[in-house]
Amino acid sequence: MMKYDHDVLIVGGGPAGLSAGMTLGRMLRSALICDDQRPRNAPSAHLNNFPTRDGIHPAEWRKEARRNLEKYSTIQTVDARVLSIERTDEGGFIAELSTGDRKTFRRVILADGLQDRLPDAPGFKELWGKSVFHCPFCHGYEARGLALGTVANGAMAAHALPMHFGLTQDLVLFTNGPADLPAELREAMVHRKVELVETRIQALLHEETVLKAVALEDGRIIKRDALFAAPMLPFETKSSLGEMLGCEKTELGLFKVNEMNETTVKGVYAAGDNMTRQHSVLHASGHGVTAGAGIVSDMLYGEFMR
């Protein structure tokens, strides 16, 4: 029987990958976690909505999660990019790393996260995670009662706007182009005095990382303290390894998975932001645990029955 370097290759050392690693380590499986240090929440100074560590710096959370893994002797972490993954004739996988190493694995977990795409207007990139946020659950509490804006259109606006209104009644919807909104949302906006701005955003005006106002292409300046920007769809994963392996995606750009997070390719699992619309550290960790447990159960069943 072929000998593998590790049972599992985990692509990505974010909440999903690190939690998968812990689950595998606790069941004596071996795994190599490869991470190229591009965490999604890196622009943010606080990781919120995470019991026991609410408000911790995201980098500190990762450091601590890595420290937790040190006691599991079968789990290794390496700061490296996974450049390619191919299936071997024996049904395992061979991966090429940016360190130059080529290693073999029985299973793969793709925990590579998502690449945020932002509107082109100057200011979005600079303020991302600081005054422009992706999620009210993560950063809404700190922005409660402020003059807020929602940058969204269509179904996403209908989903996001009521949540943002729950944080403040001083709310403006920026559709950043012609609005495409359900009639009932427009009516509710009039009733709730939420202004609709369709003119394209020219730039976000800010002092350091604090938003001051939104400058529109028609010259208007609308004072705002913070914005929530809906994601641009479809989502984009941070690597193309899933495509390389032939994993199918949904129309939203997320990996199709079964109840144990196995993708449409046998032996390849996905965990975290890349396979769910619930984008939070807790959700990603939970999905990492599910993928790890799925692999443990599958491998141990196979070995026991052999």
Ligand X SMILES: Cc1cc2nc3c(=O)[nH]c(=O)nc-3n(C[C@H](O)[C@H](O)[C@H](O)COP(=O)(O)OP(=O)(O)OC[C@H]3O[C@@H](n4cnc5c(N)ncnc54)[C@H](O)[C@@H]3O)c2cc1C
Contact footprint for ligand X (CB under 6 A): 11-17, 34-41, 43-44, 47-50, 81-82, 111-113, 116, 128-129, 134, 138, 238-239, 241, 272-273, 279-282, 284
Among residues 12 and 92, whose Cβ is nearest to ligand X? 12
We find the least distance from the C-beta atom of residue 257 to ligand X, in angstroms, to be: 13
- Please report how close the Cβ of residue 118 comes to ligand X at its closest, in angstroms: 10
* Closer CB to ligand X, 205 or 282, in the complex: 282
Considering the complex, state which of residue 9 and residue 296 has its C-beta at the smaller distance from ligand X: 9
From residue 149, give the alpha-carbon distance in Å to each of 20, 73, 128, 222: 36, 48, 14, 10
Conformational region of residue 299, where left means phi above 0, alpha means psi within -120 to 50, and beta covers everything else: alpha
Q: Kindly state the smallest distance separating residue 221's Cβ from ligand X, in Å.
A: 25
Taking the complex as a whole, the smallest distance from the CB of residue 179 to ligand X amounts, in Å, to 25
Least distance to ligand X from the beta carbon of 117, Å? 11
Nearer to ligand X, 13 or 292 (CB): 13
The least distance separating ligand X from the CB of residue 162, rounded to whole angstroms, comes to: 21
Indicate the residue among 47 and 299 with the shorter CB distance to ligand X.
Answer: 47
Query: What's the CA gap between 130 and 45, in Å, rounded?
Result: 8
C-alpha closest to that of 181 among 198, 200, 201: 198
Nearer to ligand X, 9 or 216 (CB): 9
Count of beta carbons in the 10 Å neighbourhood of residue 284 = 28
| Contact between 229 and 133 (Cβ < 8 Å) | yes
CA distances from 199 to 155, 173, 175, 179, 214 (A): 19, 11, 8, 9, 11
Q: Tell me how far apart the alpha carbons of residues 42 and 57 are, in angstroms, rounded to a whole number.
A: 9
- Whole-angstrom CA distances from 73 to 29, 65, 213 are 10, 15, 52
Q: How far apart are CA 167 and CA 7, in angstroms?
A: 46
Q: Which residue has the tokens 């809906």?
A: 230
Nearer CB in complex with ligand X: 131/181 = 131
The answer for residues whose C-beta is within 8 angstroms of residue 32's C-beta and 6 or more apart is 5, 6, 8, 9, 10, 76, 77, 78, 103, 105
Q: At what angle do helices 154-165 and 183-192 cross, to 10 degrees?
A: 30
Q: Provide the minimum distance between the beta carbon of 140 and ligand X in the complex, in angstroms, as a whole number.
A: 10
Token pair for residue 261?
A: 């997070």
Q: Quote the least distance from Cβ 275 to ligand X, whole Å.
A: 9
Considering the complex, state which of residue 151 and residue 194 has its C-beta at the smaller distance from ligand X. Answer: 151
Beta strands in 43-176 (DSSP E): 75-79, 82-87, 93-97, 102-110, 114-115, 132-133, 148-151, 171-174
